[in-house]
Amino acid sequence: MKETVLITGASSGIGLELARCFAAEGCRLVLVARNSAALEVLAGELRQAHGGEVRVLTADLRVPETPPRIFNALQAEGITVDVLVNNAGFGTHGDFVATPLERQLDMVQVNVTALTALTGLFLPGMIARRRGGVMNIASVAGFQPGPRMAVYYATKAFVLSFSEAIAEELADSGVTVTAVCPGPTKTNFGNVANFRGSDTVLRGAMTAAAVARHGYRAFRRGRFVVLSGFRNFVPTVLVRLLPRIVIRKIVKWLITIRKPVRD
Ligand SMILES: NC(=O)c1ccc[n+]([C@@H]2O[C@H](COP(=O)([O-])OP(=O)(O)OC[C@H]3O[C@@H](n4cnc5c(N)ncnc54)[C@H](OP(=O)(O)O)[C@@H]3O)[C@@H](O)[C@H]2O)c1
């Protein structure tokens, strides 16, 4: 039976590439983001390439009512979601006090609250059917504090901890939860966060397609946590070996050397 997969943040980057991975497997898709034009272009491409059903849902996850609205709309249409991909997210670059509070609270809403709400709404149905899964896009940022991207790093620590914990709770339920932890990836993320990666980081950055394929395979294998690329494994080991004060200083330096895209 064909699965139905809901992907948030499918209008660009990793979410868009994940949509391509699931569509290639013949899944039905529900694509969510604010940029409806980009979603329609992707939906057209996927329908043509794979002939599957693709539903576009324009939604702003900064709005607290959006997750229940999505859930109720799909229920009313008789669409059962088998796989939930919580990928939508963004960051901001700069000191906490120098960044508008509203933007930081929006970040918590999109990266944490909406992700938790959608998981809470769709998971009970999956458990009742004893099949399906949740893929949450965390980050290597989730392994340590991130001075000058403080809220973003904290949101990803939440996603990692939350996903791993419920994955353990759901062992033997027939439902899996996977936290995908990409490192620097070539997407629109830096532009939205207003930083340009340092040349060294940019040279080693993975493509969104590679991150998506890697995350997709790990999800299909039922892995709890997956790091995208060997290079990104190193900081997660160092964080366990070095004192936290050293880690904080290194991360602060790595974030500070990123140049703003806009003044
Ligand atoms: N790129 C990296 O280096 C990197 C590394 C680790 C983790 N990640 C994570 O990967 C995920 C995907 O990011 P990306 O790198 O692919 O960046 P991206 O190209 O900027 O894509 C972000 C996606 O999130 C959606 N989104 C943002 N705000 C939203 C809102 N208010 N409501 C609904 N959708 C919203 C965007 O859609 P609309 O703008 O159309 O709404 C877009 O589709 C994020 O969770 C990010 O934290 C990225």
Asked if the model's pLDDT at residue 10 lies above 90, the reply is: yes
> Could you give the CA distance from residue 213 to residue 216 in angstroms, rounded to a whole number?
5
Residue 193 three-state SS: helix
| Run of H or E residues at 5 | strand 4-8
Q: Measured from the CB, is residue 35 less than 6 Å from ligand 1?
A: yes
pLDDT at position 231 is: 80
| Sign of the C-alpha dihedral computed for residues 70, 72, 75 and 77 taken in this order | negative
Distance CA 49, CA 46 (A): 5
Question: How far is the centre of ligand 1, averaged over its atoms, from the C-alpha of 193 (Å)?
Answer: 10
Q: What pLDDT does residue 76 have?
A: 98
Q: Is the pLDDT of residue 200 over 80?
A: no
User: Which pTM was predicted?
Assistant: 0.96
Confidence of residue 233 (pLDDT cuts 50, 70, 90): confident
Q: What is the mean pLDDT of residues 70-78?
A: 98
Report the C-alpha gap between 159 and 165 in whole angstroms: 10
Q: How confident is the model at residue 20 (pLDDT cuts 50, 70, 90)?
A: very high
pLDDT at 8: 98
Nearest CA to ligand 1 atom 43: 9
In this prediction, residue 56 has a pLDDT band, given cuts at 50, 70 and 90, of very high
What is the CA angle 53-57-62, rounded to 5?
A: 150
| pLDDT band per the 50, 70, 90 thresholds, residue 117 | very high
User: CA nearest 105: which of 86, 120, 90?
Assistant: 90
Side chain identity, residue 90 = F
Over 90: is that where the pLDDT of 197 sits? no
| Cα(251)–Cα(82) distance, integer angstroms | 38
- Could you tell me the residue ranges of all domains in the chain? 4-256
172 burial via Cβ count (<10 Å: 0-12, 13-18, 19+):
exposed
The predicted structure's pLDDT at residue 199 = 64
Which DSSP symbol is given to 113? Answer: I
207 lines ligand 1 (CB under 6 A): no
The CATH architecture annotation of domain 4-256 reads 3-Layer(aba) Sandwich (3.40)
Mean pLDDT for the stretch of residues 185-191:
93
Percent of the chain surpassing pLDDT 90: 87
pLDDT tens profile 91-113: 999 999 999 999 999 999 999 99
Residues designated as active site: 152
Any atom of ligand 1 within 6 Å of the Cβ of 190 = no
Distance in angstroms (rounded) separating the CA atoms of residues 234 and 131: 34
Lowest-pLDDT range, 54-63, 107-116, 163-172, 187-196?
A: 187-196
How big is the CA angle at 212 (ends 209 and 213), to the nearest 5 degrees? 85
Q: What is the mean pLDDT of residues 146-160?
A: 97
